[in-house]
Structure 1
Amino acid sequence: MRLFIPAFTCGIWLLQQQAELPAASWLAGICIGALLLFALRKSALAIRRLVASALLVLAAAALGFVWAAGFAHLRLAEELPAAIEGRDIQLSGVVAGLPQALERGVRFEFDVEDAGTGVPSRISLAWYRSPDAVDDEASPLIPVRAGERWRFTVRLKRPHGNLNPHGFDYEAWLFERGIRATGYVRPRSAERIDARMWRPGYAVEMLREHIRDRFRAALPDASHAGILIALAIGDQHSIDAELWQTFARTGITHLMSISGLHVTMFAGLFHALTNWLWRRSARLPLRLPAQHAAAIGGLFAAFCYCLLAGFAVPAQRTLYMLAVVALARLARREIATSRVLLLALLLVLLLDPWAVLAAGFWLSFGAVALLFHIGGGRLGPAHWLLEWGRAQWAVTLGMLPALLALFQQFSLVSPLANAVAIPVVSFIVTPLALAGALPFLDPLLSLAHLVTGWLMVFIDWLAALPLAIWQQAAPPAWAVLLALAGGIWLLLPRGFPARWLGLLAFLPLLTAVPPRPAVGTAEVTVLDVGQGLAIHVQTSAHDLLFDAGPAFSAEADSGNRIIAPYLRAMGVRGLDVLVISHADKDHEGGAASVLAALPVAVLKASLPFEHALSAQPVPQQPCVEGDSWIWDGVRFDMLHPGAEPLSRKTNDVSCVLRVTAGGKSMLLTSDIEAVSEAVLLKRHPADLAADVMTVPHHGSRTSSTSGFIAAVAARDVIFPVGYRNRFGHPKEDVVARYVEAGARLHRTDADGAVRVGLGAAGTNFRHEREERRRYWHARPPL
């Protein structure tokens, strides 16, 4: 078991790294090969135990690979046909999960029952209220609730997400959840068919929504009500984005979900209660021992709590571990703690092979494995305070490589924050929140909120400390593995020789610096931010960001969701120049978040005086024609705008920047239109020629005139566009002009982030969707 299950896990992980799924014939061959390896292992036992172990590992990995591939083939079969993307489709089904509030509507998962052929069984829908609707902000925007059956007219598209270096894979997240299409409800097309669908899964979701409504009604203006909702029913969307940042800076994010500790505590409470009640009876112990009844009662309580919490991976892991322990007790057998963890791991992966794609999977099982590691090989029990400190030290040190690999940051104040927050949240706030979920116990919610408020005073103070968090570039894989091995060695029991050498293994992890372009060369990355623009230009020692992408909502934008994490992973600690080309939301929507995330030496912009960015405390300069500078042998020339206004349109004052390295140049055109192109042709006829160009205004018909295309004569052009954007960019006739001019086309919706190397050796291109290609990624048709 100790060899089979880790190898089985590795096989599943390997399958999830594949760009294409193996054909069924290949999978059959692999499965037969695995069975042959099992047969050879039995004969190898007589020869050498090491050979038998190697054959077992190979066979288990092959079985894991085939198991995950079988699930993947079944899920890929549910694919939305390209022919019905963007068309009105009438369907009926059931709201399958908690509706989540959007800025002007709600989003919810929907189980399709009747839609004709081609529509997947589970989709994600957004329902927006009409722009002219006037609703109270405190009231639900859309009257849709979990467990209701509706008939909608919708427009669907295949799952698609932005894909950037070191960025979040939204398509993988949707695929793991079984969501094979997304879309929105067409206006005035909705009809409720049934108010309640009493099936077990829907009933659980209805109960969760009822509890959430009760919490919100009992704590209407409470600033931390979302924390109590998350602890009671696992609805993490109820917590504000600012609070999540505070939790990340203090390392207590894991406490704001239904963690294993919470499930264990809840199960332990019911175990003790069942045991006490059972012993009070004169007859029940004669039919079933109290220990067995308590094990069943605790397991049932854990199962109910996991259902209420949405069955996340940490909750699943704990439930399965408790199930193994309960079954062992019922069978009157003892089982090693390592086997309990491995069996729980196996059950998680058998039911959900895509769990290995989630950061929570590795962090959850890793943390428990570390606790088991430090608990083994000790000579005897120690003082509880020493045990608590040892556990904190082990989890902090052991999880450091994983946190830096996944998030490129970790909290320096985490041990202190967790030392206070874990007992308060686990033994006071969570029990009160769960008790408050029962009818007529609303006053307990006020008490839970009061305690949470006291705790948050301390957490906010820790988060505000200047050195609360360590941030760095994404470490290479070899440095992560070396640090993991060093952590395990360092946490061995006292008496093992040279344990201090484990600390040396962390040095590459903390000091690794990502490579930068050589002097005289530049790397330009056109980020995939959807329908908008954000370009990172990096030289040997300088960094420039040209535009900051769109805003998605009041709390989320390209700056905090895409650009800042990307720059942190690339090792960029500050920007020498931030250029905001003009005052359009798809270009400046993330600028404030970028300015808040890292220092900026100079802000160059073409913005009106009254724009909010003009009040930012950073040195500012206007984009002016003729401005130029040289960094590390790379030349930057601002070609537009001029001094006099061309029109009242913001697009006509867009900054146009040319980057030249080693005789190769790239033209960043932002949203200039035909009027601006004509001015550039007049003023800079000899300066427009470039090897690479970002297409003006995302390929709109108001730009890319034939004369401008001929003057630039770019061999490669990049369309920064969003997948199936509402503007229909790029227009077909504009694309045709570039094709006729002989240019090679690159698109962020089809290629993800496009990285361009400029230098004397020429230009080279790297597409994120090619480099990170996975079998669930659907390449959009051009």
Structure 2
Amino acid sequence: MRVFVLAFTIGVWLVQQQAELVAWPWLAAGGAVALPMLMMVHVLRVWGKSALVGRCAASIPGVRQFVIITPLLIAGFALGFLWASACAYWRLAEALPAVNEGRDIEVVGVVSALPQQIERGMRFEFDVESAAASVPQHISLAWYRGRADDEAEDVPTMPLHAGERWRFTVRLKRPHGNVNPQGFDYEAWLFERGIRATGYVRPHSATRLNAAVWRQGYAVEMLRERIRERFQSALPDASYAGILIALAIGDQQSIAPTLWQQFAKTGITHLMSISGLHVTMFAGLFYWLVGWLWRRSAVLPLHLPAQKAAALGGFIAALIYSLLAGFAVPAQRTLYMLGVVALARLLNREVAASRVLALALLVVLILDPWAVLAAGFWLSFGAVALLFYIGSGRLGAAHWLAEWGRAQWAVTLGMLPALLALFQQFSLVSPLANAVAIPLVSFVITPLALAGVLPFLDPLLWLANFITTGLMRFIDWLAVLPMATWQQAAPPAWAILLALGGGVWLLLPRGFPARWLGLLTFLPLLIITPPRPPLGEAEVVVLDVGQGLAIHVQTATHDLLFDTGPTFSAEADSGNRIIVPYLRAIGVRRLDELIVSHADNDHSGGAESILAAVPVSLLRASLPAAHPLWNHTLPNAPCRAGDAWDWDGVHFLILHPAATNAATKSNAVACVLAIDAHGRRVLITSDIEAAQESALVTRQAGDGNASRLAAEVLIVPHHGSRTSSTDAFVAAVGAKEAIFPVGYRNRFGHPKAEIVARYEHSGAHLHRTDADGAVAVHLTPGGVRIDHARTLRRRYWQSMPSITATE
């Protein structure tokens, strides 16, 4: 069973790594092989029970295991691959037709999940029941209070709740997310949740048709929303009410992003969601309560023993709590494990802990084959597997404190490779933080929050908030300690696997020889650094930040960031969502220079987040004198034409603005940077417009240095706007590669069709961040090589219509 489930998991995981799905005939052939294999295993096991066959198999060591395990591995892998592929085909079939993107479409449906407040309105999932055009059944919508695209006036939203039926006019687009090296795959997250289109509600178009649609899933969401409202009304001014809401109903959106950063620094993130420990604790409470009440009856135990009734009651309690918690993977895993244990108790059978975990894993993957894409899946099952591993085969019972300490050591050590692979950071203070937080959150705060769900028990919520406030003061103190968090580049896959194997070896029972060798396997994980360009070469990565610009330039020993992308909301921007995680993942711990080309939000929006997270040696910018960025106490300089420097044999030159430039429009003073490596040049033009392009062409020609403007690669000015890319400028640069940094279906319509045609006519190859993801330019002595993140990280769910320029 365990071998089959492991192979099934590998098959499911492998499907999610495919750029394209395997054709149906090959899948059918795999199924035709797998089913006879399972039948053969069954026959071999039946024959193996006979005395004659058993003696023959036993006479040759390993024969019986080989002839059974090999078909199980093949069948499990094939069935896992087949099942995940079939589910993927079914989900891909429900796609938004390209002709319906950006159109006004009237839809009727039900708000299917908790609405979430966003900066200018709310976001919610919507089940479409009928529509005026072909749209997917499950979509994600935003309803803004202010303007949306071409709306001429601000329109307020109406109150909206889970389980309500509405009629909307919406504009939709296919799922699309930023694709950067080591970045979060938003499209995969949407695909796993079955969201096959995103969009927004058109103002003046909303009509509530029914206040409540009574179906099982909607009823659960309505109850969750009522509980959230109760917590918010009972704790209107509490700083940590969101934590209690998350612990009670699994609404992690209620926790502020700043708190999540503190949790990550101290290693207690797992406690602030509905973990297996919480579900087990809740189920255990009801197990004891049902058993105690059952034994008080003189009749009930005659029909069903108290232990069986208690097991059933505990499972039902776990099911209810898991549904209220949003049915995340850790809750699912615990629920299915408890279900297997309860079923075994009802059938009077004993089941090994590893079999319980394997069955839970199998059920999760059958119901959700995309669960393997979530970090929580691996962390949840991995942590439990480690606890089972260190608890098996040990002789004698140690003191409970020693057992707890050993469990903490095992989870900390065993999960280190996974945490570095997934998040590129690890909290060094997590043992201390968890020593305090685990008992408080699991046995005090969570029970109080759950009890506070009931009416008239507000004092319990006040007490829970008081204790949480004290805990957070301790967590805040830990988070600011020097070296509270270890950060490093994403390790290679072989180093992760080596460290995982070494961790298993190190956690063998005491007395096993040479356990210390397991520590050596962690060294590559911690000391190997990503490769950098050789001397004289450079790598220029135009990051995919949506409608904005952020470019990372790396030489052999130096790093430069040109612009920082846009701000998304008051708490989210390109800096903390995209650029800082990218820099951490590739091993950049400091920036030698940060250039902010001008003050527009789509170029400077992430600067504050970057300066707060990454040491910067020099800030160079073209900003007004009163701009807040100048207030930072670090060396700074204005962007001025003629400024030049060399790093590792690579030449950098500022071409604009001129020192005498008196323009007041921010685009007119935007920095222009030329990068030269072995005569291979990249020209970064930011948002300069026609007047600045003309001045550049005239100035370079007047200086007798027209070659300064020539470049193999051009970052197209102003995202392909009509205000830039004049014929004279395009001809003067003569770029063979033109890169458009644009957002998918952006409201400005960039790049414009005539600008795209102009570059095509010049003979340049075109690249777009909305279609290609991050664009990496490698400047080498042999020439220029360009890679696309979407090509390197291609997955089958990323299929999208061809993108054309806007007229």
2:692 counterpart SS class: helix
Q: Please point out which of 537, 546, 558 is paired with 1:542.
A: 558
Q: Which residue of 1 aligns with 2:150?
A: none
Q: Please point out which of 700, 714, 739 is paired with 2:760.
A: 739
Q: Please point out which of 168, 174, 180 is paired with 2:190.
A: 174
Within 2, Cα distance between the matches of 1:476 and 1:378? 34
- Shift in Å, 1:745: 0.3
Within 1, Cα distance between the matches of 2:453 and 2:767? 53
2:575 matched to 1:559?
A: yes
Q: Which residue of 1 aligns with 2:781?
A: 760
Q: Closer, same or farther in 2 for the Cα pair 1:286/1:40, shift >3 Å?
A: closer
Q: Which residue of 1 aligns with 2:313?
A: 297
Bigger drift between 636-645 and 565-574 goes to 636-645
2:794 matched to 1:778?
A: no
Q: Which residue of 2 aligns with 1:618?
A: 634
AA aligned to 2:607 is: A
Within 2, Cα distance between the matches of 1:492 and 1:218? 49
Kindly provide the CA deviation profile for residues 480-506 of structure 1, in whole angstroms up to 9, marking residues without a partner as x: 000000000000101111000000000
Within 2, Cα distance between the matches of 1:41 and 1:326? 28
2:365 counterpart SS class: helix
- Shift in Å, 1:427: 0.4
Q: Which residue of 2 aligns with 1:256?
A: 272
Within 1, Cα distance between the matches of 2:9 and 2:361? 8
- Shift in Å, 1:162: 0.1
2:797 counterpart SS class: coil
2:719 matched to 1:692?
A: no
User: Superposition pairs for residues 477-556 of structure 1, below 5 Å?
Assistant: 477-556=493-572
Q: Which residue of 2 aligns with 1:708?
A: 729
Q: Which residue of 2 aligns with 1:12?
A: 12
2:339 matched to 1:316?
A: no
Kindly provide the CA deviation profile for residues 186-236 of structure 1, in whole angstroms up to 9, marking residues without a partner as x: 011100000111111101101101111111111111100000000000000
Q: Please point out which of 575, 578, 582 is paired with 2:591.
A: 575
- Shift in Å, 1:35: 2.5
Within 1, Cα distance between the matches of 2:214 and 2:80? 36
Identity %: 70
2:751 matched to 1:730?
A: yes
Q: Please point out which of 165, 190, 205 is paired with 1:189.
A: 205
2:127 counterpart SS class: strand
2:66 matched to 1:57?
A: no
2:142 matched to 1:126?
A: yes
Asked if 1 retains the 8 angstrom alpha-carbon contact of 2:174 and 2:800, the reply is: no
Q: Please point out which of 374, 396, 400 is paired with 2:416.
A: 400
Within 1, Cα distance between the matches of 2:120 and 2:487? 35
AA aligned to 2:229 is: D
1:465 counterpart SS class: coil
Within 2, Cα distance between the matches of 1:360 and 1:164? 21
- Shift in Å, 1:37: 3.5
AA aligned to 1:16 is: Q
AA aligned to 1:18 is: Q
Asked if 2 retains the 8 angstrom alpha-carbon contact of 1:128 and 1:142, the reply is: no
AA aligned to 1:622 is: P
2:21 matched to 1:21?
A: yes
- Shift in Å, 1:49: 3.1
Within 2, Cα distance between the matches of 1:262 and 1:408? 27
- Shift in Å, 1:52: 3.4
Asked if 1 retains the 8 angstrom alpha-carbon contact of 2:268 and 2:430, the reply is: yes
- Shift in Å, 1:380: 1.2
Q: Please point out which of 657, 673, 676 is paired with 2:692.
A: 676
User: Superposition pairs for residues 227-626 of structure 1, below 5 Å?
Assistant: 227-626=243-642
- Shift in Å, 1:466: 1.0
Within 2, Cα distance between the matches of 1:175 and 1:263? 27
| Segments ≥4 residues shifted beyond 6 Å | 42-46
Bigger drift between 612-621 and 412-421 goes to 612-621
Asked if 2 retains the 8 angstrom alpha-carbon contact of 1:603 and 1:618, the reply is: yes
Q: Closer, same or farther in 2 for the Cα pair 1:286/1:461, shift >3 Å?
A: same
TM-score (norm 1): 0.98
Within 2, Cα distance between the matches of 1:127 and 1:301? 36
TM-score (norm 2): 0.95
Paired residue total: 777
Within 1, Cα distance between the matches of 2:42 and 2:446? 51
- Shift in Å, 1:287: 1.3
Asked if 2 retains the 8 angstrom alpha-carbon contact of 1:659 and 1:666, the reply is: yes
Within 1, Cα distance between the matches of 2:154 and 2:731? 48
Kindly provide the CA deviation profile for residues 601-653 of structure 1, in whole angstroms up to 9, marking residues without a partner as x: 00000000111111112211000000000000000000000123353211010
Q: Which runs of 5+ in 1 are unaligned?
A: 136-140
2:179 matched to 1:163?
A: yes
User: Superposition pairs for residues 41-56 of structure 1, below 5 Å?
Assistant: 49-56=65-72
2:34 matched to 1:34?
A: yes
2:611 counterpart SS class: helix
Asked if 2 retains the 8 angstrom alpha-carbon contact of 1:127 and 1:142, the reply is: no
Within 1, Cα distance between the matches of 2:172 and 2:437? 43
Asked if 2 retains the 8 angstrom alpha-carbon contact of 1:106 and 1:142, the reply is: no
Within 2, Cα distance between the matches of 1:598 and 1:58? 48
Asked if 1 retains the 8 angstrom alpha-carbon contact of 2:108 and 2:165, the reply is: yes
Within 2, Cα distance between the matches of 1:474 and 1:204? 39
Within 1, Cα distance between the matches of 2:391 and 2:42? 34
Q: Closer, same or farther in 2 for the Cα pair 1:488/1:531, shift >3 Å?
A: same
2:105 matched to 1:89?
A: yes
Q: Which runs of 5+ in 2 are unaligned?
A: 46-56, 58-62, 148-152
Within 2, Cα distance between the matches of 1:293 and 1:423? 28
Asked if 2 retains the 8 angstrom alpha-carbon contact of 1:750 and 1:780, the reply is: no
AA aligned to 2:179 is: L
Within 2, Cα distance between the matches of 1:476 and 1:134? 50
AA aligned to 2:225 is: E
Q: Closer, same or farther in 2 for the Cα pair 1:11/1:575, shift >3 Å?
A: same
Within 2, Cα distance between the matches of 1:130 and 1:173? 27
Q: Which residue of 1 aligns with 2:121?
A: 105
1:600 counterpart SS class: coil
AA aligned to 1:739 is: E
Q: Which residue of 2 aligns with 1:138?
A: none
Within 1, Cα distance between the matches of 2:732 and 2:40? 69
Within 2, Cα distance between the matches of 1:194 and 1:723? 35
Within 2, Cα distance between the matches of 1:2 and 1:303? 25
- Shift in Å, 1:44: 7.7
Bigger drift between 41-50 and 603-612 goes to 41-50
Asked if 2 retains the 8 angstrom alpha-carbon contact of 1:105 and 1:142, the reply is: no
Within 2, Cα distance between the matches of 1:639 and 1:42? 75
Q: Which residue of 1 aligns with 2:48?
A: none
- Once superposed, what is the RMSD of the aligned Cα atoms? 1.2
AA aligned to 1:550 is: P
- Shift in Å, 1:286: 1.0
Within 1, Cα distance between the matches of 2:739 and 2:675? 15
Within 1, Cα distance between the matches of 2:573 and 2:202? 25
Kindly provide the CA deviation profile for residues 56-77 of structure 1, in whole angstroms up to 9, marking residues without a partner as x: 2122101100000110000000
2:21 counterpart SS class: coil
Asked if 2 retains the 8 angstrom alpha-carbon contact of 1:7 and 1:61, the reply is: yes
- Shift in Å, 1:39: 5.0
